[in-house]
Amino acid sequence: MSVINQSDGAKRCLNANATLEVDEACFSILNEFNRSVTFYSRFSECYRCDDVPQATLLPGVNTTLLISTKYPLYIFYKDVYNNCHQTFNFKEHGYYGWNISEENPCPEIYTIREPINSYLPIFAAFMVFVLLTMSFTIGRAIVRVLKGKLSPDNIHNDMEEILQEEEASNSNLVRTNRSSTRIRSIDTFRGIAVLLMIFANNGGGKYTFFNHSAWNGLTVADLVLPWFAWIMGLSITISKRSELRVTNSRGKIILRCLLRALILVLLGLMINSQSHFINTRSLKDLRFPGVLQLLAVSYFVCATIETLFMKTYSQDDVLQFGRFTILRDILNNWPQWLIILAIMTTHTLITFLLPVPNCPTGYLGPGGYNEFGKYYNCTGGAAGYIDRLVFGSHMYSKTNNSVYGTILPHDPEGIMNTMSMILVVYMGVHAGKILLLYYQCNAKVVRWLLWSCITGIIAGSLCQFEKESGLIPVSKKMMSLSFIMTASCFAFLLYAILHILVDNKQYWSGAPFIYAGLNPITLYVGHYLTMGLFPWAWKLSHSTHWSLLAMNLWTTTLWGVIAYWLYLKNIIISV
């Protein structure tokens, strides 16, 4: 709902000592008509929605409302004689007025009290981190000079790092020295994903772009899970190649993959059993799907496919100097691609052809206010219907959407969304194939950038490069094909950049993200188990973007420090 509370809003807005919360503003409407009119509003983010009646404006009365500034607001009033429509971007803690009358039935909204700059905390936090980084870098350089330990430039060897990464991946508890033998760009990418995930999960300062989209669209928070899955896929290529070098039993490798998947599922269920996810700890309330469960299933499927069909080094060399050398990363793996395409074809056919009771076939929306309330109980279409049928009460139970109102339960990590994530993981697997098969940096980077362009064009074609248009809109909630392609596009691009900066040119060590990338599951599970506990977080007496952003950044930084401590202790814990 766009208006939070009319009576309470009037008291807080008119009380000079009262303080507004995050994303709140005051809106006073003076009705100078000699009759009552009804005031309606909705977020402009709400696509094809009916307007919701918010208040009755009595004649000659100044009605004060407390409204949300999360998204631009579409407002209007109507009666027998007049109606007025406006879209206005209210700012946080501002006080606005609107005077409607016979002489001026559709006036401009004016500002009574100036709003605050809600984005200033982001700039301040950015400057603080820049200064800290510069200070740390300069301090380290001074210490090195004083100790006489400035190291000469090292000659970089990609294949040597890959072989070292393979050996390191065979142990559940690996102790390394401080000059890690792993591929640094992989750990840096993984660290970026997990730290962003921790920041977003803790609230992201309550900024909309640091939180998940209401339904369609794309934010920073929407990208972190598919990025984590993508880099997991890249690691599968390296680890399975290593395991096949030391054993001929593909069955044993698959069993190890199954064991790892089961451990991830158990960790995910443990996270879901926490009291801030369910009202009680009984099994009837336990959510079965989850982030780690989704990662476990997609990992097991892709790792099993790779184990069954991956070729040895000698077999890979068959096409190395032939006519199709430029395509050997694809041609060597056509059976895997056929299976992945079959899974995605099945997903697409179910999405658009499965009959859902009282809902249109192929519906991908949130239900609720969407489509003017015609499909109120169709949340998630076929994907939502399958999850509710299979899991019942054992799924994500949140039914209050800030934009679309009350919707049916829909699990963002449900069965159909897990099928979509398999494609993301395999995109990462293919990126790993490129890393292994091509020796020159340019050959790798060009192919990653080409895949970035291809997936980006496919995503744009599916959604017509618009938020709410096209055959398949970009939706993290649905893990739609256009969203999967968009996330893969950015993943290929980001990894290509990191490979150049961290591995090839060595302009950047990957710090501080590389430390988090060494123990991602440990950090992910740990941040959930400690969520809301001191010293990671504390209860705020008055929430503002300043205080929330500071606390969320502190939480993320503290986990980064813990990751660095694990690195100093030479401990890498993998599931």
pLDDT at 464: 92
Is 258 within 8 Å of 305 (Cβ atoms)?
A: no
Name every residue whose Cβ is closer than 8 Å to that of residue 484 and which is 6 or more positions away in sequence: 226, 420, 421, 423, 424, 459
DSSP sequence for 55-109: EEE-TT-EEEEEEE-SS-EEEEEE-SS-EEEEEE---TT-EEEEEE-SS-SSPPP
Higher pLDDT, 408 or 317: 408
With b for 16 or more beta-carbon neighbours within 10 A and e for fewer, the 506-544 pattern comes to eebebbbbbbbbbbbbbbbbbbbeebeeeebbeeeeebb
pLDDT at 391: 93
Comparing 54-58, 199-203, 239-243, 328-332, the range with the smallest average pLDDT is: 328-332
pLDDT tens track for 515-532? 999 999 999 999 999 998
Parallel/antiparallel/unpaired status of strands 24-31 and 95-100: parallel
- Residues taking part in catalysis: 212
Torsional class of 23: left (φ above 0), alpha (ψ -120 to 50), beta (otherwise) = left
pLDDT at 19: 82
pLDDT at 83: 76
Query: Is a pLDDT exceeding 80 seen at residue 175?
Result: no
Task: Give me the mean pLDDT over the 283-298 stretch.
Answer: 92
Q: What is the pTM of this model?
A: 0.90
Mean per-residue pLDDT over the chain, rounded:
87
pLDDT at 195: 96
pLDDT at 277: 57
Query: Is a pLDDT exceeding 70 seen at residue 47?
Result: yes
pLDDT at 169: 47
pLDDT tens track for 244-258? 888 768 999 999 999
Most confident of 100-104, 172-176, 354-358: 354-358
pLDDT at 206: 93
Comparing 138-142, 164-168, 207-211, 328-332, the range with the smallest average pLDDT is: 164-168
**Sign of the alpha-carbon torsion through 111, 401, 530, 124:** negative
Is 190 within 8 Å of 228 (Cβ atoms)?
A: yes
Task: Give me the mean pLDDT over the 178-190 stretch.
Answer: 79
Vertex 409, ends 408 and 410: CA angle to 5°? 110
pLDDT at 262: 96
Task: Give the pLDDT band of residue 81 (cuts 50, 70, 90).
Answer: confident
Higher pLDDT, 462 or 544: 462
- By percentage, how much of the chain surpasses pLDDT 90? 61
Task: Give me the mean pLDDT over the 346-358 stretch.
Answer: 95
Higher pLDDT, 555 or 16: 555
pLDDT tens track for 263-281? 999 999 999 888 655 555 5
Rounded distance between C-alpha atoms, residue 462 and residue 348, angstroms? 13
pLDDT at 312: 65
Task: Give the pLDDT band of residue 174 (cuts 50, 70, 90).
Answer: very low
Residues pairing with 53 in the sheet: 40
Task: Give the pLDDT band of residue 317 (cuts 50, 70, 90).
Answer: very low
Task: Give the pLDDT band of residue 319 (cuts 50, 70, 90).
Answer: very low
Largest CA-CA distance found in the chain, in angstroms, rounded: 88
pLDDT at 5: 53
pLDDT tens track for 389-423? 999 889 988 888 889 988 999 999 999 999 999 99
Q: How far is CA 59 from the centre of its chain?
A: 47
Task: Give the pLDDT band of residue 9 (cuts 50, 70, 90).
Answer: low
